[in-house]
Amino acid sequence: MATFKIGDLTIGGRQKIVMAGPCAIEGREQLLQIAREVKARGAHILRGGAYKPRTSPHSFQGLGPQGLFYLKEAGEETGLLTITEVMEPEELDLICKYADILQVGARNMFNYPLLKRIGRTDKPVMLKRSFMATVEEFLLASEYILKEGNQRVMLCERGIRTFDHITRNTLDLASIPIIKKMSGLPIIVDPSHGTGRSDIIIPMAMAGLVAGADGVMVEVHPNPKKALSDGLQTLDFPHFKEMMDELGDLYRYLASAEEKRTNRITGATNP
């Protein structure tokens, strides 16, 4: 199983990673407030879009370079690593200067020139599954990056389009162990985009980790109703704390289950 380091953080190791932050960076104060809160609750990586791939050209498109400056400042102040989306090759040099991890969004998973260009950088990258990609297409897309030399690639299951619209996307939990088995790459579960519903983010985050995900990405905002994008799938601060507490319980349960399994195998305890 491939693991890699970003600074002191190991991706794909025993420790599960939490990436949290707003869908879009809306301003300096907003981002600093969120960064401080998610750091205090134990997150490892601050997420926030500066260049937003919105379905409608009339929606908020992100703060662009100004957003990147805020992201860097919030990362430096809190000690969190940062991740942000790259939409075009022209943005790449600037984003590499200001963020620790590159995100390729669902809409760009099939953008092979962009993937190749990212493959020639030395920045860790998280590639999100397109909502219309099969697992095989997803893995082949990741190979566009790997083939150019960049080996610090993690994947992200963020739901696919199905006939059912009770959720925004259908979070494909079964893909998680399959992808790990087929690719050996670390994989993150994104229950925000994967469901579009803040009321089921926590159980789906837990389910993703139980399925074998190496971490969770969730959207967090002090007032999701006022968020400029994706408010419906965003946790407020009390619910983010609740998620982190529940994940703590889950890690303890998983560690004890693992210990029992190892003891059984090594014969340290009777079955």
Cα-Cα-Cα-Cα dihedral sign, residues 102, 108, 109, 114: negative
Specify whether the CB–CB gap between 14 and 20 falls below 8 A. Answer: no
**Using the rule CB under 5 A, is 230 a contact of Mn ion?**
yes
**Using the rule CB under 5 A, is 23 a contact of Mn ion?**
yes
Q: Which lies closer to ligand PEP via its Cβ, residue 117 or residue 158?
A: 158
Stretch near Mn ion under the rule CB under 5 A, chosen from 3-11, 73-81, 148-156, 224-232 = 224-232
Residues that bind ligand PEP (CB under 6 A): 23, 49, 53, 105-107, 128, 158, 193
Dihedral of the CA atoms 119, 122, 123, 129 (nearest 10)?
A: 20
Q: Under 8 Å CB-to-CB from 113, ≥6 apart: which residues? A: 89
Please state, in angstroms and as integers, the Cα–Cα distance from residue 265 to each residue in 14, 253, 254, 269, following that order: 19, 18, 16, 9
Nearest distance from C-beta of residue 174 to ligand PEP, angstroms: 18
Nearest distance from C-beta of residue 122 to ligand PEP, angstroms: 23
CB atoms within 10 A of CB 94: 15
Nearest distance from C-beta of residue 252 to ligand PEP, angstroms: 29
CA distance linking residue 39 with residue 81, whole number of Å: 10
Q: Which lies closer to ligand PEP via its Cβ, residue 23 or residue 35?
A: 23
> Binds 53, which of Mn ion, ligand PEP, none (CB < 5 to 8 A, cut-off by type)?
ligand PEP
Which residues contact Mn ion (rule: CB under 5 A)? 23, 230
